[in-house]
């Protein structure tokens, strides 16, 4: 998770604790305009820090100084990126808490390993997955990062689905 997203989550958590205490101790103060504005801003911050929809179709990644064909390919895959990202996320949910390497994702899905890795990287950038700190060997014997669901993803899935207990 990015430092900015972490700071936003911490600020929201802190404000929610203060709000809960105020509701118990001094509820009349919460009706004042300053508190209402603060509540609205905190709600906006909460939305901004929330996980983005994994199934959204976005252009693929490309380098700003890359060849024209790289940019064209990024736009060409746009209609499939959401479906691919969702498939990768579903495999990581099924593999919870063990996690998966990019090679393992590639074995489970009808995607090239590089494509699966790109969609997994999208999920990492969106806050859905994180490096577990563990390493497992690839088919060639090289160490590979084991990716797992982030704490935010687990919270989201527990609240909005029956997929994670």
Q: Tell me: the pLDDT tens digits for 77-121?
A: 766 777 888 999 999 999 999 999 999 999 999 888 788 898 999
Q: What is the pLDDT along the chain (165 residues), one digit of tens a residue?
A: 456 666 776 777 788 888 888 889 988 888 888 888 788 777 766 665 666 777 676 666 777 788 888 778 777 776 677 788 899 999 999 999 999 999 999 999 988 878 889 899 989 988 899 999 999 999 899 999 999 999 988 888 887 766 665
In the chain, where the domains are located? 3-49, 68-160
- CATH number for the 68-160 domain, one of 1.10.10.10, 2.60.40.10, 1.10.540.10, 1.20.1250.20? 1.10.10.10
Q: Calculate helix-pair angle for 3-25, 33-49, nearest 10 degrees.
A: 140
pTM: 0.65
């Amino acid at each position: 998770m990015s430092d900015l997203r972490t700071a936003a989550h911490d600020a929201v958590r802190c404000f929610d604790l203060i709000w809960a205490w105020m509701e118990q101790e001094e509820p009349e103060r919460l009706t004042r305009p300053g508190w209402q504005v603060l509540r609205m801003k905190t709600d906006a911050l909460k939305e901004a820090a929330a996980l983005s929809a994994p199934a959204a179709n976005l252009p693929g990644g490309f380098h700003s100084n890359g060849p024209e064909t790289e940019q064209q390919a990024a736009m060409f895959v746009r209609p499939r990126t959401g479906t691919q990202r969702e498939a990768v996320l579903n495999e990581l949910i099924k593999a919870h808490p063990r996690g998966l390497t990019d090679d393992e994702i590639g074995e489970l899905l009808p995607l090239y390993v590089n494509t699966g890795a790109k969609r997994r990287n999208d999920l990492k950038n969106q806050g859905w997955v994180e490096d577990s700190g563990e390493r497992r060997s690839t088919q060639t014997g090289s160490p590979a990062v084991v990716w797992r669901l982030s704490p935010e993803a687990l919270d989201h899935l527990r609240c909005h689905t029956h997929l994670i207990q």
